[in-house]
Amino acid sequence: MKFLDQAKIYIKSGAGGNGCVAFRREKFIEFGGPNGGDGGNGGDVWVECVQNLNTLIDYRYQQHFSAQNGTPGMGQNRAGPNGRDCIIKVPPGTQVLAEDGETLLADLTEPGARVRLAKGGNGGFGNAHFKSATNQAPRHANPGQPGEELTIWLRLKLIADAALVGLPNAGKSTFLATVSAAKPKIADYPFTTLHPNLGVVRAGDVDFVLADIPGLIEGASEGAGLGDRFLGHIERCRVLLHLVDATSPDVVNDYKTVRRELKAYGGGIDKKKEIVALSKIDALDEITLAERRDALKKAARKTPLLLSAVSGAGVKDALFALAREISRGNAAEEEADRDASRHWQP
Protein backbone atom coordinates (compact mmCIF):
# COMPACT_ATOMS: atom_id res chain seq x y z
CA MET A 1 0.00 0.00 0.00
CA LYS A 2 1.33 3.42 -0.91
CA PHE A 3 2.03 5.70 2.06
CA LEU A 4 0.26 9.06 2.03
CA ASP A 5 0.44 11.36 5.03
CA GLN A 6 -1.27 14.50 3.72
CA ALA A 7 -4.48 15.12 1.80
CA LYS A 8 -6.67 18.10 0.94
CA ILE A 9 -10.40 17.42 0.74
CA TYR A 10 -13.65 19.33 0.31
CA ILE A 11 -16.59 18.59 2.59
CA LYS A 12 -20.21 19.73 2.56
CA SER A 13 -22.94 19.04 5.08
CA GLY A 14 -26.51 18.43 3.96
CA ALA A 15 -29.07 21.19 3.52
CA GLY A 16 -32.27 21.07 5.54
CA GLY A 17 -35.51 20.10 3.80
CA ASN A 18 -38.18 22.73 3.14
CA GLY A 19 -41.34 22.88 5.22
CA CYS A 20 -44.60 21.91 3.53
CA VAL A 21 -47.71 24.01 2.94
CA ALA A 22 -50.73 21.68 3.01
CA PHE A 23 -54.28 21.57 4.34
CA ARG A 24 -56.40 18.72 5.56
CA ARG A 25 -59.15 18.10 2.99
CA GLU A 26 -61.28 15.10 3.83
CA LYS A 27 -64.96 14.46 3.22
CA PHE A 28 -67.18 15.18 6.20
CA ILE A 29 -64.30 16.96 8.05
CA GLU A 30 -65.58 20.49 8.41
CA PHE A 31 -62.57 22.20 9.94
CA GLY A 32 -59.53 20.59 8.39
CA GLY A 33 -56.85 23.20 8.97
CA PRO A 34 -53.16 23.22 8.02
CA ASN A 35 -51.23 19.95 8.21
CA GLY A 36 -47.92 20.62 6.41
CA GLY A 37 -45.00 18.78 8.07
CA ASP A 38 -41.51 20.04 8.87
CA GLY A 39 -38.52 19.35 6.66
CA GLY A 40 -35.76 16.98 7.83
CA ASN A 41 -32.37 18.17 9.03
CA GLY A 42 -29.39 17.83 6.74
CA GLY A 43 -26.70 15.28 7.54
CA ASP A 44 -23.53 16.24 9.41
CA VAL A 45 -19.95 15.59 8.32
CA TRP A 46 -17.87 13.75 10.95
CA VAL A 47 -14.25 12.68 11.08
CA GLU A 48 -13.68 9.43 12.98
CA CYS A 49 -10.48 7.71 14.08
CA VAL A 50 -10.39 3.97 13.30
CA GLN A 51 -7.86 1.31 14.19
CA ASN A 52 -7.37 -0.54 10.91
CA LEU A 53 -5.94 2.36 8.86
CA ASN A 54 -2.35 3.58 8.68
CA THR A 55 -2.34 5.91 5.68
CA LEU A 56 -4.50 8.55 3.98
CA ILE A 57 -4.28 6.88 0.58
CA ASP A 58 -8.10 6.70 0.35
CA TYR A 59 -8.24 10.47 -0.04
CA ARG A 60 -5.86 10.65 -2.96
CA TYR A 61 -8.50 9.56 -5.47
CA GLN A 62 -11.61 11.02 -3.83
CA GLN A 63 -11.54 14.56 -2.51
CA HIS A 64 -15.22 15.55 -2.33
CA PHE A 65 -17.45 14.33 0.51
CA SER A 66 -21.04 15.40 1.06
CA ALA A 67 -23.69 14.47 3.59
CA GLN A 68 -27.26 13.83 2.44
CA ASN A 69 -29.81 16.64 2.29
CA GLY A 70 -32.88 16.54 4.50
CA THR A 71 -36.17 15.54 2.84
CA PRO A 72 -38.92 18.19 2.54
CA GLY A 73 -41.96 17.91 4.79
CA MET A 74 -45.21 16.40 3.50
CA GLY A 75 -48.92 16.72 4.07
CA GLN A 76 -50.82 14.98 6.84
CA ASN A 77 -48.24 16.34 9.33
CA ARG A 78 -45.52 14.06 7.99
CA ALA A 79 -42.02 15.35 8.74
CA GLY A 80 -39.28 14.67 6.22
CA PRO A 81 -36.51 12.21 7.22
CA ASN A 82 -33.14 13.61 8.26
CA GLY A 83 -30.25 13.28 5.83
CA ARG A 84 -27.59 10.61 6.40
CA ASP A 85 -24.32 11.75 7.97
CA CYS A 86 -21.02 11.54 6.10
CA ILE A 87 -18.23 9.90 8.14
CA ILE A 88 -14.60 10.41 7.09
CA LYS A 89 -12.46 7.62 8.54
CA VAL A 90 -8.82 8.39 9.34
CA PRO A 91 -5.96 6.51 11.06
CA PRO A 92 -4.80 7.31 14.61
CA GLY A 93 -2.55 10.35 14.76
CA THR A 94 -4.42 12.36 12.13
CA GLN A 95 -4.74 16.12 12.51
CA VAL A 96 -7.51 18.07 10.78
CA LEU A 97 -6.44 21.55 9.70
CA ALA A 98 -8.34 24.44 8.16
CA GLU A 99 -7.72 25.49 4.57
CA ASP A 100 -4.84 27.74 5.66
CA GLY A 101 -2.96 24.60 6.75
CA GLU A 102 -2.25 26.04 10.21
CA THR A 103 -5.50 26.30 12.20
CA LEU A 104 -6.01 23.02 14.06
CA LEU A 105 -9.61 21.80 14.02
CA ALA A 106 -9.16 18.33 15.52
CA ASP A 107 -6.40 16.00 16.67
CA LEU A 108 -7.44 12.34 16.67
CA THR A 109 -5.10 9.98 18.50
CA GLU A 110 -7.40 7.31 19.94
CA PRO A 111 -9.55 4.89 17.90
CA GLY A 112 -13.22 5.67 18.34
CA ALA A 113 -12.73 9.42 18.75
CA ARG A 114 -14.88 11.52 16.42
CA VAL A 115 -15.39 15.22 15.77
CA ARG A 116 -18.12 17.00 13.84
CA LEU A 117 -16.58 19.20 11.17
CA ALA A 118 -19.72 20.56 9.46
CA LYS A 119 -23.23 20.71 10.87
CA GLY A 120 -26.17 20.01 8.61
CA GLY A 121 -28.78 22.69 7.97
CA ASN A 122 -31.98 22.68 10.02
CA GLY A 123 -35.19 21.65 8.31
CA GLY A 124 -37.84 24.31 7.72
CA PHE A 125 -41.13 24.45 9.62
CA GLY A 126 -44.30 23.41 7.79
CA ASN A 127 -47.40 25.58 7.87
CA ALA A 128 -48.88 23.48 10.68
CA HIS A 129 -46.21 25.00 12.93
CA PHE A 130 -47.58 28.52 12.40
CA LYS A 131 -51.20 27.66 13.24
CA SER A 132 -52.68 29.93 15.91
CA ALA A 133 -55.99 31.33 17.07
CA THR A 134 -55.45 34.46 14.98
CA ASN A 135 -53.91 32.69 11.99
CA GLN A 136 -55.91 29.54 11.45
CA ALA A 137 -54.93 29.00 7.83
CA PRO A 138 -51.25 29.95 7.40
CA ARG A 139 -50.13 29.68 3.81
CA HIS A 140 -46.40 29.87 4.30
CA ALA A 141 -43.62 27.58 5.48
CA ASN A 142 -39.92 27.98 6.21
CA PRO A 143 -37.27 26.89 3.73
CA GLY A 144 -34.54 24.56 4.94
CA GLN A 145 -31.21 26.08 5.97
CA PRO A 146 -28.17 25.46 3.76
CA GLY A 147 -25.35 23.18 4.84
CA GLU A 148 -21.78 24.19 5.56
CA GLU A 149 -18.98 23.93 3.01
CA LEU A 150 -15.27 23.98 3.75
CA THR A 151 -11.94 22.73 2.54
CA ILE A 152 -9.72 20.97 5.06
CA TRP A 153 -6.32 19.35 5.25
CA LEU A 154 -5.77 15.89 6.75
CA ARG A 155 -2.26 15.44 8.06
CA LEU A 156 -1.05 12.17 9.54
CA LYS A 157 1.57 12.15 12.27
CA LEU A 158 2.51 8.60 13.14
CA ILE A 159 2.14 7.59 16.76
CA ALA A 160 5.47 6.02 17.72
CA ASP A 161 7.27 5.71 21.06
CA ALA A 162 10.74 6.06 19.57
CA ALA A 163 12.18 7.25 16.26
CA LEU A 164 15.33 6.73 14.21
CA VAL A 165 17.02 9.84 12.83
CA GLY A 166 20.20 10.39 10.90
CA LEU A 167 21.64 11.07 7.47
CA PRO A 168 20.72 8.86 4.51
CA ASN A 169 22.51 5.49 4.60
CA ALA A 170 23.18 5.72 8.33
CA GLY A 171 21.70 2.23 8.76
CA LYS A 172 18.26 3.18 10.07
CA SER A 173 16.25 0.83 7.83
CA THR A 174 18.64 -2.06 8.49
CA PHE A 175 18.30 -1.49 12.21
CA LEU A 176 14.49 -1.43 12.01
CA ALA A 177 14.41 -4.61 9.92
CA THR A 178 16.72 -6.34 12.41
CA VAL A 179 14.74 -5.54 15.55
CA SER A 180 11.17 -5.82 14.20
CA ALA A 181 9.07 -7.54 11.57
CA ALA A 182 9.03 -4.41 9.41
CA LYS A 183 10.42 -4.86 5.90
CA PRO A 184 11.79 -1.52 4.69
CA LYS A 185 13.84 -1.38 1.50
CA ILE A 186 17.49 -2.32 2.09
CA ALA A 187 20.18 -2.49 -0.60
CA ASP A 188 23.95 -2.47 -1.03
CA TYR A 189 23.97 0.87 -2.88
CA PRO A 190 23.34 4.41 -1.59
CA PHE A 191 19.69 5.48 -1.46
CA THR A 192 17.26 6.97 1.05
CA THR A 193 13.95 5.76 2.42
CA LEU A 194 11.09 7.53 0.65
CA HIS A 195 8.41 7.24 3.34
CA PRO A 196 8.26 6.43 7.08
CA ASN A 197 8.17 2.85 8.29
CA LEU A 198 6.90 1.50 11.60
CA GLY A 199 7.90 -1.60 13.52
CA VAL A 200 6.87 -3.09 16.87
CA VAL A 201 9.89 -3.87 19.05
CA ARG A 202 10.20 -5.87 22.27
CA ALA A 203 12.93 -5.19 24.81
CA GLY A 204 12.52 -7.31 27.93
CA ASP A 205 8.96 -6.78 29.16
CA VAL A 206 8.50 -3.53 27.22
CA ASP A 207 6.85 -3.37 23.79
CA PHE A 208 7.12 -0.15 21.84
CA VAL A 209 6.67 1.23 18.34
CA LEU A 210 9.79 2.36 16.48
CA ALA A 211 9.58 4.73 13.49
CA ASP A 212 12.13 5.07 10.69
CA ILE A 213 11.83 8.32 8.75
CA PRO A 214 13.64 9.35 5.54
CA GLY A 215 17.15 10.61 6.15
CA LEU A 216 17.91 14.30 6.52
CA ILE A 217 20.54 16.15 4.54
CA GLU A 218 21.98 19.62 4.97
CA GLY A 219 19.39 22.20 3.98
CA ALA A 220 16.44 19.87 4.58
CA SER A 221 14.63 22.63 6.48
CA GLU A 222 14.80 24.70 3.28
CA GLY A 223 13.51 21.86 1.08
CA ALA A 224 16.72 20.11 0.09
CA GLY A 225 16.27 16.42 -0.71
CA LEU A 226 12.96 15.20 0.66
CA GLY A 227 13.01 18.20 2.98
CA ASP A 228 11.72 18.01 6.54
CA ARG A 229 8.08 17.18 5.74
CA PHE A 230 8.39 13.78 7.43
CA LEU A 231 9.72 15.17 10.70
CA GLY A 232 6.13 15.68 11.85
CA HIS A 233 5.95 11.92 12.31
CA ILE A 234 8.37 12.03 15.24
CA GLU A 235 6.76 14.93 17.11
CA ARG A 236 4.80 12.50 19.29
CA CYS A 237 7.65 10.12 20.18
CA ARG A 238 9.43 10.15 23.54
CA VAL A 239 13.00 9.42 22.51
CA LEU A 240 15.22 9.65 19.43
CA LEU A 241 17.88 7.14 18.43
CA HIS A 242 20.36 9.17 16.40
CA LEU A 243 22.41 6.87 14.20
CA VAL A 244 25.73 8.13 12.86
CA ASP A 245 27.51 6.14 10.17
CA ALA A 246 30.84 5.03 11.67
CA THR A 247 32.33 4.60 8.18
CA SER A 248 31.91 8.32 7.46
CA PRO A 249 35.21 10.26 7.55
CA ASP A 250 33.59 13.10 9.51
CA VAL A 251 31.16 11.74 12.09
CA VAL A 252 31.10 15.05 13.96
CA ASN A 253 29.83 16.99 10.95
CA ASP A 254 27.26 14.27 10.23
CA TYR A 255 25.93 14.52 13.77
CA LYS A 256 25.80 18.32 13.79
CA THR A 257 24.10 18.45 10.38
CA VAL A 258 21.16 16.42 11.63
CA ARG A 259 20.96 18.37 14.88
CA ARG A 260 20.82 21.66 12.94
CA GLU A 261 17.96 20.42 10.81
CA LEU A 262 16.03 19.20 13.86
CA LYS A 263 16.42 22.58 15.51
CA ALA A 264 15.44 24.45 12.34
CA TYR A 265 12.25 22.40 12.04
CA GLY A 266 11.05 23.36 15.52
CA GLY A 267 8.16 21.63 17.22
CA GLY A 268 10.38 20.77 20.19
CA ILE A 269 12.01 17.85 18.38
CA ASP A 270 15.53 19.04 19.21
CA LYS A 271 14.57 19.08 22.91
CA LYS A 272 13.58 15.41 23.01
CA LYS A 273 15.69 12.85 24.80
CA GLU A 274 18.37 11.62 22.40
CA ILE A 275 20.42 8.44 22.37
CA VAL A 276 23.44 8.66 20.06
CA ALA A 277 24.90 5.56 18.44
CA LEU A 278 27.64 4.77 15.94
CA SER A 279 26.35 2.26 13.39
CA LYS A 280 28.15 -0.11 11.01
CA ILE A 281 30.97 -0.69 13.51
CA ASP A 282 31.66 -4.09 11.94
CA ALA A 283 33.26 -2.28 8.97
CA LEU A 284 36.01 -0.57 11.04
CA ASP A 285 39.13 -1.62 12.88
CA GLU A 286 39.35 -0.98 16.62
CA ILE A 287 41.73 1.99 16.40
CA THR A 288 39.64 3.92 13.86
CA LEU A 289 36.45 3.09 15.75
CA ALA A 290 37.94 4.40 19.01
CA GLU A 291 38.99 7.66 17.35
CA ARG A 292 35.56 8.30 15.86
CA ARG A 293 33.78 7.31 19.07
CA ASP A 294 35.86 9.83 21.05
CA ALA A 295 35.24 12.56 18.46
CA LEU A 296 31.48 11.94 18.50
CA LYS A 297 31.44 11.79 22.32
CA LYS A 298 33.00 15.26 22.47
CA ALA A 299 30.56 16.70 19.92
CA ALA A 300 27.43 15.12 21.38
CA ARG A 301 28.53 15.53 25.02
CA LYS A 302 27.48 11.98 25.75
CA THR A 303 29.02 8.57 25.22
CA PRO A 304 27.67 7.04 22.00
CA LEU A 305 26.54 3.46 21.80
CA LEU A 306 28.34 1.17 19.38
CA LEU A 307 26.21 -1.12 17.24
CA SER A 308 26.02 -3.10 14.04
CA ALA A 309 22.62 -4.18 12.76
CA VAL A 310 24.32 -6.71 10.46
CA SER A 311 26.34 -8.55 13.13
CA GLY A 312 23.92 -7.77 15.97
CA ALA A 313 26.60 -6.17 18.13
CA GLY A 314 25.19 -3.55 20.51
CA VAL A 315 21.63 -3.86 19.16
CA LYS A 316 20.16 -5.14 22.45
CA ASP A 317 21.90 -2.36 24.38
CA ALA A 318 20.27 0.23 22.12
CA LEU A 319 16.84 -1.36 22.48
CA PHE A 320 17.03 -1.50 26.27
CA ALA A 321 18.22 2.13 26.36
CA LEU A 322 15.16 3.12 24.32
CA ALA A 323 12.87 1.03 26.52
CA ARG A 324 14.20 2.70 29.68
CA GLU A 325 13.55 6.19 28.33
CA ILE A 326 10.06 5.24 27.15
CA SER A 327 9.21 3.74 30.56
CA ARG A 328 10.47 6.89 32.31
CA GLY A 329 8.40 9.07 30.01
CA ASN A 330 5.27 6.98 30.60
CA ALA A 331 5.80 7.08 34.36
CA ALA A 332 6.27 10.86 34.31
CA GLU A 333 3.09 11.30 32.25
CA GLU A 334 1.09 9.10 34.63
CA GLU A 335 2.39 11.06 37.62
CA ALA A 336 1.43 14.34 35.94
CA ASP A 337 -2.08 12.98 35.31
CA ARG A 338 -2.41 11.97 38.97
CA ASP A 339 -1.27 15.41 40.11
CA ALA A 340 -3.78 17.06 37.81
CA SER A 341 -6.62 14.87 39.11
CA ARG A 342 -5.66 15.66 42.74
CA HIS A 343 -5.72 19.40 42.09
CA TRP A 344 -8.93 19.28 40.08
CA GLN A 345 -11.93 20.68 41.90
CA PRO A 346 -15.49 20.14 40.58
Consult the annotation and say whether 171 binds a ligand: yes
| Domain annotation for the chain: domains and CATH numbers | 1-156 (2.70.210.12), 162-341 (3.40.50.300)
Consult the annotation and say whether 191 binds a ligand: yes
Consult the annotation and say whether 173 binds a ligand: yes
- pLDDT score recorded for residue 229: 59
The residues near 84 (Cβ < 8 Å, ≥ 6 apart) are 14, 43, 67, 68
Consult the annotation and say whether 134 binds a ligand: no
Consult the annotation and say whether 252 binds a ligand: no
Give me the mean pLDDT over the 303-307 stretch.
Answer: 89
pTM for the model: 0.70
One-character DSSP codes across 59-123: HHH--EEEPPPPPPPBTTTBPPPPPPPEEEEE-TTEEEE-TTS-SEEEEE-STT-EEEEEPPPPP
**Three-state DSSP class for 205?**
coil
Consult the annotation and say whether 288 binds a ligand: no
Consult the annotation and say whether 91 binds a ligand: no
Consult the annotation and say whether 133 binds a ligand: no
Is 190's pLDDT higher than 50? no
191-205, 222-236, 263-277, 326-340: which is most confident: 263-277
Consult the annotation and say whether 282 binds a ligand: yes
Give me the mean pLDDT over the 181-208 stretch.
Answer: 65
Consult the annotation and say whether 214 binds a ligand: yes
Consult the annotation and say whether 280 binds a ligand: yes
Q: Give dist(CA 121, CA 135) in Å, integer.
A: 27
Consult the annotation and say whether 309 binds a ligand: yes
Is 159's pLDDT higher than 80? no
